[in-house]
């Protein structure tokens, strides 16, 4: 699920990726809403709100939203640069997710031990950065089929896949691709459902446990990343032993 393979990725692998990363994105997004009344991944809304801040001459609001957009883009950029520079590392995506989990644990511990409303803006910027990393990671790993935080784009992709699937019943040329369109639609719907479910769970968990729930999410991401790394290393070791074994 978290490994970039030489062969084409299957839709099943992308669905598992969506179940984990889109759900985690929804959980974190909703927790940020519960904690700060703000959605760090809702870039479409944030861009729209900038115009309102400009119209009302709210300099602080404008600067904060501009910095939040910059943080999201920077997260996506650094995730991409990491993948490019570490393209020979088989577990590079696992390492990015591991770093994200560690960063989220650090942010959560900071809020648990030193919470103060005066740090809300800085924490939101950090979460926006992590959302950029998160979305960039899933997008690159799935070749654009799973955008863990970008629901607007995923809904658009789902609409296109549904249109292509329905069109296949009226076109002999597209009838051969019907199975592909159905799998594609299933993948997009899984991403949307996972994000929605994560949002519901995230808000409920934050209302019950506060920033301890955010801490648990960070630990979960670390466990997923470390598990994938361990499985990959063990598999690679077994393959090396098998290749070195003398043939009978």
- Would you list the DSSP string of 111-160? HHHH--GGGHHHHHHHHHHHHHHHHHHHHHHTTTS--SS-HHHHHHHHHH
What are the phi and psi torsion angles at 162 (to 5°)?
A: -65, -40
Least confident of 57-71, 95-109, 164-178, 219-233: 164-178
Mapped onto helix, strand or coil, the DSSP state of residue 171 is coil
Q: What are the pLDDT digits (tens) for 93-110?
A: 999 999 999 999 999 999
* Tokens representing residue 153 in the block: 């784009």
Question: Residue 135 half-sphere exposure, CB side, CA atoms within 13 Å?
Answer: 28
Tell me the two tokens of residue 126: 């950090």
For residue 197, the tally of other CB atoms under 10 A from its CB is 15
Alpha carbon distance 78, 176 (integer Å)? 40
**248 pLDDT band (50/70/90 cuts)?**
very low
CA gap 182, 162 in Å, rounded: 8
Quick one: what percent of the chain has pLDDT higher than 90? Answer: 60
pLDDT digits (tens, 9 = 90+) for 111-140: 999 999 999 999 999 999 999 999 999 999
Q: Distance between alpha carbon 184 and the CA centroid of its chain, in Å?
A: 18
pLDDT of residue 17: 92
Q: What is the pLDDT, as a whole number, of residue 245? A: 65
pLDDT at 216: 97
Angle of helix 120-141 versus helix 59-85 axis, rounded to 10: 40
- CA 172 to CA 170: how far, in whole Å? 7
> For residues 233 and 94, is the Cβ–Cβ distance under 8 A?
no
d(CA 223, CA 204): 22
The whole-number pLDDT of residue 25 equals 94
């Amino acid at each position: 699920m978290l490994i970039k393979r030489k062969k084409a990725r299957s839709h099943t692998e992308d669905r598992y990726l969506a179940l984990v990363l889109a759900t985690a994105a929804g959980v974190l997004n909703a927790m940020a809403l519960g904690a700060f009344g703000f959605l760090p991944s809702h870039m479409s809304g944030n861009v729209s709100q900038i115009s309102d801040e400009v119209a009302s001459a709210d300099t602080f609001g404008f600067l904060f939203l501009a910095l939040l957009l910059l943080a999201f883009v920077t997260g996506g950029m650094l995730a991409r640069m990491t993948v490019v520079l570490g393209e020979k590392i088989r577990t590079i995506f696992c390492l990015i997710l591991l770093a994200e989990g560690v960063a989220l644990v650090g942010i959560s511990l900071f809020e648990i031990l030193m919470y103060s409303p005066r740090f809300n803006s800085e924490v939101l910027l950090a979460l926006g950065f992590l959302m950029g990393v998160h979305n960039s990671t899933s997008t690159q790993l799935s070749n654009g089929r799973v955008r863990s935080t970008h629901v607007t784009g995923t809904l658009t992709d789902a609409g296109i896949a549904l249109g292509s699937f329905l069109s296949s019943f009226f076109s002999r040329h597209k009838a051969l691709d019907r199975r592909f369109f159905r799998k594609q639609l299933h993948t997009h719907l899984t991403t949307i459902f996972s994000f929605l479910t994560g949002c519901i769970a995230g808000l409920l968990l934050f209302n019950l446990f506060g920033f301890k729930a955010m801490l648990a999410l960070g630990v979960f991401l670390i466990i997923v990343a470390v598990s994938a790394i361990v499985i990959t290393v063990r598999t690679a070791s077994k393959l090396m032993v098998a290749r070195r074994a003398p043939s009978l």
